Amino acid sequence: MIENFETLSFKKTDGAVSAVELVNADFKLPTHKHDDAQLMLVTRGLVTCEVATGLWMVPLGSALWIPAGMEHSMQSVGDLQLYCVYIEPKLTRLLPLSCCTLAVSPLLRELVIEISHLPAHCDVDGPDSRMIGVLLDRLATVPVEQLHLPMPSDRRLRKIAERLIINPADRTSMSEWALIVGMSERTMLRVLSKETGMCFRRWRQQFQIMLALERLSEGDSVQAVAFDLGFESASAFGTMFRKTLGKPPLKFLADRSHDALEHY
């Protein structure tokens, strides 16, 4: 369900692209899908999106690409503002075939916002349609961000994921987990690598990054998040975060907030 709407606007262009702007304090949608592909740009707050193969985190200044027909669920964290652009599959041949989080340039951000403010109908040969063409061209070249937690389909590995969600500070070793879920360590490594593309240590770190971003976006301190994730110090957590996302936690969030403020 979607609760506590402040603003909802829906615009159509030439029939191939539509856009929606949401300003909302409490946003939650169960599993659903769209006939069109969806680009979701977050300009305030944070959104989590889950599909069968993984969990994506969409913080301020990022965008999520969801191909047409892909089932997904969504939930907001904090006071939310986002823009969604829906694109017919015939226009997405050069765009990603799988769900991914995208780094958003100032130009791409402004294109998404401007398209959401277009009139109900546009001239297919006019400047508005050309602007949509520029958006599609830019989407084909933007870099993918590492804000994705691949989720294994194997039921034994899913049991580990469920335990880590309940207790992210759990430091059970890979060999211990293998015994708990009834696998050999070698089999566990092989299946995890096949289904997530990561070793166990890297997968658990990515799990921690995703949980940390959610907690930090809610206003929790770096120290509190670090201890709740099982780190001995905020410094150790900050080092892991920087190695994964390129910046310390507070700078990562501050830079995104600063970029957003500069453009609104």
pTM of the model: 0.74
Residues of the chain with CATH 1.10.10.60: 153-258
Residues of the chain with CATH 2.60.120.10: 2-139
Assign 219 to helix, strand or coil.
Answer: coil
Task: Label residue 212 left, alpha or beta by phi (over 0 means left) and psi (-120 to 50 means alpha).
Answer: alpha
Given the candidates 3.40.50.11820, 3.90.920.10, 2.40.30.70, 2.60.120.10, the CATH classification of the domain at 2-139 is 2.60.120.10
Q: What are the φ and ψ backbone dihedral angles of 147, each rounded to 5 degrees? A: -120, 40
pLDDT tens per residue across all 264 residues of the chain: 344 333 334 444 455 787 888 776 567 889 999 999 999 998 888 888 888 778 888 877 789 999 999 999 988 877 788 898 999 998 888 888 888 888 888 899 999 988 888 776 666 667 877 888 888 899 888 888 878 888 888 999 989 988 888 888 888 999 999 999 999 999 999 999 999 999 999 999 988 988 888 888 778 899 999 999 999 999 999 999 999 888 899 888 887 765 544 544
pLDDT for the residue 142: 87
User: Which fold would CATH assign to domain 153-258?
Assistant: Arc Repressor Mutant, subunit A (1.10.10)
Distance CA 24, CA 44 (A): 10
pLDDT for the residue 264: 45
> Is 176 buried (19+), middle (13-18) or exposed (0-12) by CB count in 10 A?
exposed
With residue 160 as reference, give the H or E element that holds it. helix 155-166
